[in-house]
Amino acid sequence: MTSHDSYTDLLIIGAGPAGLMAACWASQYAITTRLIDQKSERTKAGHADGINSRTMEIFDSFGIAELVLRQAVGNMDAAYWGADEKTGNIRRIKCQPSQPQELSRFDQMLLNQGAIEQILIDYLHSKGRVHVERGRKAQDLELPGRSDQNGDDEFPVHVRVVPANGEDGQSENAEVIHARYVIACDGARSWTSAQLNVDSDVWKTESTWGVMDIVPDTEFPDIRRACAIQSSDGESMMVVPRENNLVRFYLHMNGGEGRSPNGPDKTEGCLEDLIDMAEKTLKPYRLSYNYCDWWSLYPIGRRLIKQYRSDRIFFAGDAAHTHSPKGGQGMNISMQDSYNLVWKIAAVITGSVDPAILETYQSERRPEAEQLMEFDTRLVYAYEGGMEDDSEDGVEAVREKYAGFMAGVAVIYPASILVENCQSNTAVARNIQLGKRLPSSLVVGQDDGCVVHLAKKLNSNGYWRLLVFSGDLHSAGIWERLSVFAKEFSGQFTNHLRPQSTKISQLFETFLIHSSPRSSFDKSQLLGSFHDFGTELGWDHVKIFADDPSYDGDTGQAYQHYGIDKRRGGLIVCRPDQHVGWVGDIEDVEGLDRYFSRFLIRKDRT
C-alpha cells in the first residue's frame, strides 16, 4: 500500500452546492485549495430547486446572477387550494405574491440543483485556481495531536484520499493530503462527521413524501404557480413550476413510511402511484405526464449537529443539518453556511486576522439552523394539517410569519468580535441593523452618471468596505469634517491598521456616498478634497456616488432608506460578506480603530 503526500491550505470534502460555494469564495484569495468529491459527475436531475433572494444576492456578488436568471423560473405567485365541502373537489382559497417585494432587489427563483452546480463549476473554471477532483474518496482522517509525524503543525489535518472506484487503500494513486483547515460538505451521510463521532440533535421522522419532476398534461389552472393543495380526503401536495416546462410535485405519502427512497420499491409502477395520488388530490382536474425527469421517495428527518467545528475541521450544509425540502431552504442554507465561513478561514490563513474570528461560525450559523428546524417543523405540520383560512397553523400563516427567513434576508448575526454592538452608534443609521446584511439602494456614479445598486459594488472579493456617508456637501462644515476624517483614518491605517501579512495586497475599499446633486461638483473638486485616503485604502474616483433624486427610478432615497441624517452623515463598515459590523459618526476614527483592533493582526502586534 503506497501513497504520496501533498499540502494545501484548505481542503473541501464534497462538491455539492455548499462545497462549490466554498471553493468559489476560496478562489478569491491567494491560498491553495483542494476540492474532492467521490462522485464521477455533478448532480444531473432533481434534488433541490429553490433559490431564495439572499442566495441570488450572493450569486450577484460573484457576477453569476445573470446566468441563473437566464435559466430559472421566477417564483412570483403562491396559490392556496383547499377542499370544497359541497362538491368534494379542490378550490382556490387565495393567490398572492410569494414574498413581499421590498425584501430584496431579487425575487425567489426556481432552478434545479444540477444547473446551479454547473454555474458554480464554470465560475471556478474561469478563475482557474480551484477545480473539482472527481472520483476521489476520503478514507482515513488524522487530527492535530494524533499524527505520527512531528513538526507538522502548519498542516495538522491529514486526510488519506483514494480513487472512489478502487479497492480500499490498495491503490497506487492513494494520497495523504495535509491541510491547514478542512471543510466537510459531504452531505447528510457525512463521512467526516462519522469519523469524528459528531453529536447531533435528532427529531423523530414523522412522515414520508414523494417527489417527481414531470412535464404535466393537465387543465389545472395554477400549474405554473407555486401551490399548496389539500384535498377533501386529507391528501396534501405542493406544486412548484420549474425550468423547461417541468413542474415539481411534492406529495405526502400517508402510510408510506416503510418505502425506501433508494430501495426495491423505487420502480416505474411507483412513479405511476405518485401520478395517481396527485390526480386524486387535484380532483376535478385530470393529470398525466409527457416526460418524467426525476422522482424519488424520502422520509422527513431532522438532524442538527451540536458543534459546527472540531478543531481545524468545519461542517457545512447537509453535513451539519438535514430537514424536509418543503420550504425550499436546503440548498440556500447550505451555500450560506460556506459563504459565511470561507472568507474567515482565508483571512486567517493569509495572516490578516486573528484566528479567534473562526469561533463566530458556530455562533452565527447554528442559530439559523435552529430556526430552520422550527420553520420546517411548522411548515410540514401545516401542509399535513390543512388549508383553513383563519388557522394560525396554516401554510399561508406559517409562510407569512417566516417570509424574511425564507427569503434569506432576515439573518441577523449576534454581537461578537466581528459585530460591535457596544461601541457602535446605531443612531447614525437608524434603519441599519448591526449583524444584518446591508440592504441595497440605488445611487448615482459621480464619474459616469450611471444609476447602480450600491450592493453591486460590494463584490465577493475578500475586501472590507468602509462606506462614508458624508451628507450634503453644501452644508456648513461638511468638507472640513471629511478632510479631518480622511487624514486621521489614513494616518491610523498607515501607522498600525495595515495588516502585517505580505499576502494581502489590499484589505479595504472606501466608498463616498454624498447627498448633494451630482452636477453641483466636478470630479477634480471631490478628488482634491479626499486625497488623504490614498490608494492604500482602495480609494479612486469610481468609488464616489451621489444620492441624487433627479435621475430616473428610485434614486435619492439611500439616506432615507438607511436612516442617515444628511446634515450629519456617518460611517458604516461592511464585512466581506456584506453584513454590517460597525456604525459610527464621521468623527469617530477612534471607534473605527477599536473595532478593527479587535481582530486585525496589525504591524504593531508583531
Q: What is the pLDDT of residues 541-600, one digit of tens each?
A: 678 999 999 998 889 999 999 999 999 999 999 999 999 999 999 999 999 999 999 999
Asked if residue 20 has pLDDT above 70, the reply is yes
Residue 442's pLDDT band, with cuts at 50, 70 and 90, is very high
Q: What value does the mean pLDDT take over residues 227-233? A: 88
Residue 257's pLDDT band, with cuts at 50, 70 and 90, is very low
Q: Which of 179-188, 233-242, 359-368 has the lowest mean pLDDT?
A: 233-242
Q: Helices 330-349 and 53-61 meet at what angle, rounded to 10?
A: 40
Q: Which of 13-22, 411-420, 452-461, 496-505 has the lowest mean pLDDT?
A: 496-505
CB proximity list for 148: less than 8 A, separation 6 or greater: none
Query: What pLDDT does residue 264 have?
Result: 37
Cis peptide before 156 (omega within 30 of 0): no
Residue 268's pLDDT band, with cuts at 50, 70 and 90, is very low
Query: What pLDDT does residue 40 have?
Result: 93
Q: Which of 163-172, 243-252, 447-456, 459-468 has the lowest mean pLDDT?
A: 163-172
CATH number of 4-74+106-201+302-407: 3.50.50.60
Residue 263's pLDDT band, with cuts at 50, 70 and 90, is very low
- 3-state SS, residue 562: helix
Cβ–Cβ under 8 Å, residues 47 and 212: no
Query: What pLDDT does residue 493 have?
Result: 65
Cβ–Cβ under 8 Å, residues 424 and 582: yes
Query: What pLDDT does residue 388 have?
Result: 54
Residue 540's pLDDT band, with cuts at 50, 70 and 90, is low
Q: Which of 185-194, 519-528, 572-581 has the lowest mean pLDDT?
A: 519-528
- pLDDT higher at 46 or 471: 471
Superfamily of segment(s) 425-598: Phenol hydroxylase, C-terminal dimerisation domain (3.40.30.20)
SS3 assignment for 424-488: CCHHHECCCCCCEECCCCEEEECCCCCEEEHHHHCCCCCCEEEEEEEECCCCCCHHHHHHHHHHH
Asked if residue 479 has pLDDT above 90, the reply is no
- pLDDT higher at 204 or 78: 78
- pLDDT higher at 435 or 49: 435
- Written as one letter, the residue type at 314 is F
- Its CATH class, for the domain covering 203-300, is alpha beta
Asked if residue 28 has pLDDT above 50, the reply is yes
Asked if residue 531 has pLDDT above 80, the reply is no
pTM of the model: 0.92
Query: What pLDDT does residue 259 have?
Result: 39
- Average pLDDT of the chain is 87
- pLDDT higher at 507 or 135: 135
Residues of the chain with pLDDT > 70: what percent? Answer: 86
Q: 145-162 pLDDT, tens per residue?
A: 654 444 457 999 999 999
Residue among 311, 308, 309, 313 nearest 182 (CA): 313
- Bridge pairing between strands 175-184 and 313-315: parallel
C-alpha 550/C-alpha 566 separation (Å) is 17
Q: Which of 206-220, 343-357, 438-452 has the lowest mean pLDDT?
A: 206-220
Q: 96-118 pLDDT, tens per residue?
A: 887 777 889 999 999 999 999 99
Asked if residue 120 has pLDDT above 60, the reply is yes
Angle at 72 between CA 71 and CA 78, to 5 degrees: 160
Query: What pLDDT does residue 79 have?
Result: 92
How many other C-beta atoms can be found within 10 angstroms of the C-beta atom of residue 269?
Answer: 8
**How many residues can be counted in the chain?**
606
Asked if residue 528 has pLDDT above 90, the reply is no
Give the domain ranges of the chain. 4-74+106-201+302-407, 203-300, 425-598
Q: Bridge partners of 37?
A: 134
